[in-house]
């Protein structure tokens, strides 16, 4: 196979205190054409990570003292500049990540949008709350930044997910060191370099590289006080263990195996079917809270599966830069092998596997990690495809007779990220939603956009620790502090039997 290089050098360097540092690199391939190298990312070493953390540590005091409104002003300025770069960087993101262009615009556009949203929350950090005030004492309660925050990013929506971590952290007065994914570091690297230029030196630092070296060094560094990690549940476990050394605060946004429950009270309309197709195949199935399994009441099952297969059959798979494509390739070899292996084993176990959709260009289909949309029926409720997170364009559809059984099946998992309930009876759907063990439940929708930036987002069980988005994320990157100003201590307990129990 011939390898072509982009004539424009796209690089994701190590960035420490505003200076790009030459470092040995690794290629970033276009998932739509294995032979095309889109750019290179640095392989940050432990020593690069140490320098980046020290730069962030040195910048922390001044950044924290600026106050939330001045920080918000600077973040807004960066958002304005980043908004102007969205169209160009979206094309770069499609070439390194694979997703279709409109999805890349949402992803890259997230930088300006999320910065702007958090800049608007500066007032939430104004002053302290007075918990108690009387002639003896005034008690102030406020929130303080934690210090250096390590933000570790996955490849599926790299810019959007990075900014959900760094925007609240920066507004709250923390400085950051970002570890992008080795599979999609280029557009994010350019966005972060632009942001870093708009902020004081050392506030934003970047250490591209492998998880085993750069990610692990960041998680273990003693000057890092908080880790905001987004990625798989398996890696999340390692991050939690690594962060234990100096008892770092962690936010873990992990994997999901989201169920969609189509109740007897649902009407199988074109809208319902179309929404559930979007919920499964958006970003080629590579969204943490995509629908990963569909349970349909038996009275609706045949109608639903027929119409669902017909709708999925309209998907056109091809290069995300081609406007005729409605679904791009998977992002990388490991993910492609994992999903195709899962489909092969599911077929071998006797399930009915429907391969649907259309290849935009059959001749070059094998040149990328392309996979047609798949629907699987007639499978065991405990099949691997049902119990594991597939993170690809394949979905099992299972019938149920009893709604309580459907809720039990939805909850019978170590995951608990998102879920959806589909019904014409919204009150009843709300009751069912409250019984599902997941951080978000959507009624009659389940896709990107349904979890807006102001809605707390995160997982029950193995899907994570803590909540991102909205004010919840500001709280997650600040420490509550109580200041007790005693003017009269005469009544406080003294030594002796009634002394302070601690
Ligand atoms: P991953 O866990 O393989 O990698 C995520 C990041 O962690 C990458 O930057 C990687 O280099 C780094 N990493 C790997 N090993 C590390 C280690 N030992 N220490 C520190 N960092 C390490 O995940 P992925 O394949 O990039 O992303 C897909 C997964 O992420 C899916 O499971 C998906 O559901 C999940 N995800 C969750 C959310 C959410 O908000 N809950 C959002 C997007 C993706």
Residue 59 belongs to domain with CATH number: 3.40.605.10
End-to-end CA distance of the chain: 71
Measured distance CA(213)–CA(26) in Å, rounded: 14
Q: Where are the alpha helices (DSSP H) in 199-297?
A: 216-220, 233-242, 270-281
Q: What is the DSSP letter of 425?
A: -
User: Residue by residue, what is the 3-state secondary structure of 249-309?
Assistant: EEEEECCCCEEEEECCCCCCCHHHHHHHHHHHHHHHHCCCCCEEEEEEEHHHHHHHHHHHH
Residue 23: what pLDDT? 78
Ligand 1: residue whose CA is nearest its atom 30: 231
What are 438's two structure tokens?
Answer: 């997941």
Q: Strands 224-230, 148-152: parallel, antiparallel or unpaired by DSSP?
A: parallel
Atom number in ligand 1 closest to CA 468? 40
Q: Which residues are identified as catalytic?
A: 253
Do 472 and 464 contact (CB within 8 A), yes or no? Answer: no
Measured distance CA(385)–CA(364) in Å, rounded: 28
Mark whether 199 and 298 lie in a shared domain.
no
**Ligand 1 binding pocket mutation candidate from 99, 151, 216, 235 (most atoms within 8 A of CB):** 235
Do 329 and 371 contact (CB within 8 A), yes or no? Answer: yes
- Provide the residue-wise pLDDT of the chain in tens; the chain has 502 residues: 455 655 457 999 999 999 999 778 999 999 999 899 999 999 999 999 999 999 999 999 999 999 999 999 999 999 999 999 999 999 999 999 999 999 999 999 999 999 999 999 999 999 999 999 999 999 999 999 999 999 999 999 999 999 999 999 999 999 999 999 999 999 999 999 999 999 999 999 999 999 999 999 999 999 999 999 999 999 999 999 999 999 999 999 999 999 999 999 999 999 999 999 999 999 999 999 999 999 999 999 999 999 999 999 999 999 999 999 999 999 999 999 999 999 999 999 999 999 999 999 999 999 999 999 999 999 999 999 999 999 999 999 999 999 999 999 999 999 999 999 999 999 999 999 999 999 999 999 999 999 999 999 999 999 999 999 999 999 999 999 999 999 999 989 987 655 555 5
Residue 9: what pLDDT? 73
Q: Strands 33-42, 4-5: parallel, antiparallel or unpaired by DSSP?
A: parallel
Residue 7: what pLDDT? 47
In a domain, 455, yes or no: no
The secondary structure element, H or E, covering residue 17 is: none
- Tell how far the Cα of 165 is from the centroid of ligand 1, in angstroms: 14
Residue 494: what pLDDT? 83
What are 112's two structure tokens?
Answer: 């300006």
Ligand 1: residue whose CA is nearest its atom 42: 288
Phi, psi dihedrals of residue 111, rounded to the nearest 5°: -60, -55
Mark whether 172 and 202 lie in a shared domain.
yes
* Beta strand extents in 401-438 (DSSP E only): 418-422
In a domain, 273, yes or no: yes
Mark whether 174 and 286 lie in a shared domain.
no
- Tell how far the Cα of 405 is from the centroid of ligand 1, in angstroms: 32
In a domain, 3, yes or no: no
Positive or negative, the CA dihedral 337, 185, 284, 322 is negative
Residue 241: what pLDDT? 98
Mark whether 317 and 385 lie in a shared domain.
yes
Q: What's the domain count of the chain? A: 2
**Ligand 1 binding pocket mutation candidate from 178, 231, 331, 447 (most atoms within 8 A of CB):** 231
Sheet holding 129-133, edge to edge: 129-133, 137-145, 478-486
CATH number where 300 lies: 3.40.309.10
User: What residue numbers bound the domain in which 436 lies?
Assistant: 258-443
* Size (the chain), residues: 502
Mark whether 267 and 246 lie in a shared domain.
no
CA nearest to 103, candidates 220, 39, 184: 184
What are 350's two structure tokens?
Answer: 């006797």
Mark whether 365 and 295 lie in a shared domain.
yes
Do 288 and 253 contact (CB within 8 A), yes or no? Answer: yes
Give, in order, the Cα–Cα distances in Å from 443 to each of 45, 129, 429, 446, 468: 46, 36, 7, 8, 21
Residue found under tokens 């432990």: 46
Mark whether 264 and 362 lie in a shared domain.
yes
In a domain, 400, yes or no: yes
Ligand 1: residue whose CA is nearest its atom 43: 288
Q: Taking phi first (over 0 means left), then psi (-120 to 50 degrees means alpha), and beta for anything else, what does residue 98 get? A: left
CA nearest to 388, candidates 332, 449, 336, 343: 343
Residues with CB under 6 A from ligand 1: 152-156, 161, 179, 181-182, 211-212, 215-216, 219, 230-232, 235, 238-239, 253-256, 288, 389, 391, 417, 459, 464
Measured distance CA(476)–CA(422) in Å, rounded: 32
Mark whether 293 and 231 lie in a shared domain.
no
In a domain, 29, yes or no: no
Mark whether 230 and 315 lie in a shared domain.
no
Residue 495: what pLDDT? 78
In a domain, 456, yes or no: no
In a domain, 41, yes or no: no
Atom number in ligand 1 closest to CA 209? 11
- Tell how far the Cα of 182 is from the centroid of ligand 1, in angstroms: 11
Half-sphere exposure of 33 (CA within 13 A, CB side): 18
Q: What is the DSSP letter of 463?
A: G
Mark whether 237 and 300 lie in a shared domain.
no
Q: Strands 129-133, 137-145: parallel, antiparallel or unpaired by DSSP?
A: antiparallel
Neighbouring residues of 208: CB distance < 8 A, sequence distance ≥ 6: 12, 13, 14, 41, 42, 43, 44, 179, 180, 182, 185, 189, 214
Residue found under tokens 């304005």: 80
The secondary structure element, H or E, covering residue 224 is: strand 224-230
Q: What is the DSSP letter of 457?
A: B
Degrees (nearest 5) of the Cα angle 172, 174, 180? 115
**How far is CA 152 from its chain centroid?**
10
Burial class (CB in 10 A: 0-12, 13-18, 19+), 274: middle
Mark whether 358 and 386 lie in a shared domain.
yes
Measured distance CA(41)–CA(23) in Å, rounded: 9
Mark whether 226 and 280 lie in a shared domain.
no
Q: Strands 291-297, 258-262: parallel, antiparallel or unpaired by DSSP?
A: parallel
């Amino acid at each position: 196979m011939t390898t072509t290089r982009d004539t424009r050098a796209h690089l994701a360097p190590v960035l420490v205190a505003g200076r790009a540092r030459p470092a040995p690199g690794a290629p970033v391939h276009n998932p739509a054409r294995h032979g095309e190298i889109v750019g290179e990312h640095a392989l940050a070493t432990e020593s690069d990570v140490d320098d980046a953390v020290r730069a962030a540590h040195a910048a922390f005091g001044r950044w924290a003292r600026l106050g939330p409104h001045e920080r918000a002003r600077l973040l807004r300025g960066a958002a304005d500049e980043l908004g102007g770069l969205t169209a160009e960087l979206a094309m770069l993101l499609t070439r390194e990540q694979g997703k279709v262009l409109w999805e890349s615009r949402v992803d890259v556009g997230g930088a300006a949008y999320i910065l702007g949203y958090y800049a608007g929350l500066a007032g939430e950090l104004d002053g302290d709350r007075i918990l108690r005030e009387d002639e003896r004492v005034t008690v102030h309660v406020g929130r303080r930044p934690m210090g250096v925050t390590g933000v570790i990013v996955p490849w599926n929506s790299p810019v959007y997910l990075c900014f959900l971590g760094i925007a609240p952290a920066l507004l709250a007065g923390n400085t950051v060191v970002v570890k992008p994914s080795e599979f999609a570091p280029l557009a994010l690297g350019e966005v972060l370099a632009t942001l870093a230029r708009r902020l004081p030196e050392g506030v934003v630092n970047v250490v591209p590289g492998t998880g085993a070296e750069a990610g692990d060094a960041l998680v273990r560094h003693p000057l890092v006080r908080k880790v905001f990690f987004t990625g798989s549940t398996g890696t999340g476990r390692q991050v939690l263990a690594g962060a234990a050394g100096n008892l770092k605060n962690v936010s873990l946004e992990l994997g999901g195996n989201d169920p969609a429950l189509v109740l007897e009270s649902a009407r199988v309309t074109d809208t319902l079917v179309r929404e559930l197709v979007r919920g499964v195949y958006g970003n080629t199935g590579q969204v943490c809270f995509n629908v990963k399994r569909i349970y349909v009441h038996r009275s609706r099952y045949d109608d639903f599966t027929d119409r669902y297969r017909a709708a999925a059959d309209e998907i056109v798979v091809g290069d995300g830069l081609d406007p005729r494509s409605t679904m791009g390739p998977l992002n990388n070899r490991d993910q492609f092998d994992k999903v195709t292996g899962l489909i092969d084993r599911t077929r071998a176990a006797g399930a009915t596997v429907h391969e649907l959709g259309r290849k935009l260009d059959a001749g070059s289909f094998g040149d990328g990690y392309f996979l047609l949309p798949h629907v699987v029926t007639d499978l065991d409720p405990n099949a691997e495809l049902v119990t594991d997170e597939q993170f690809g364009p394949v979905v099992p559809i299972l019938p149920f007779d009893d709604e309580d059984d459907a809720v039990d099946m939805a909850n019978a998992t170590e995951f608990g990220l998102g879920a959806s309930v589909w019904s014409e009876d919204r009150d009843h759907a709300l009751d069912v939603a409250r019984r599902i063990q997941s951080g978000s439940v959507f009624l009659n929708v389940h896709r990107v956009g349904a979890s807006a930036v102001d809605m707390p987002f995160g997982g029950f069980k193995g899907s994570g620790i803590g909540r991102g988005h909205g004010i919840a994320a500001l709280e997650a990157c600040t420490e509550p502090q109580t200041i007790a100003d005693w003017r009269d201590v005469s009544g406080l307990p003294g030594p002796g039997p009634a002394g302070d129990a601690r």
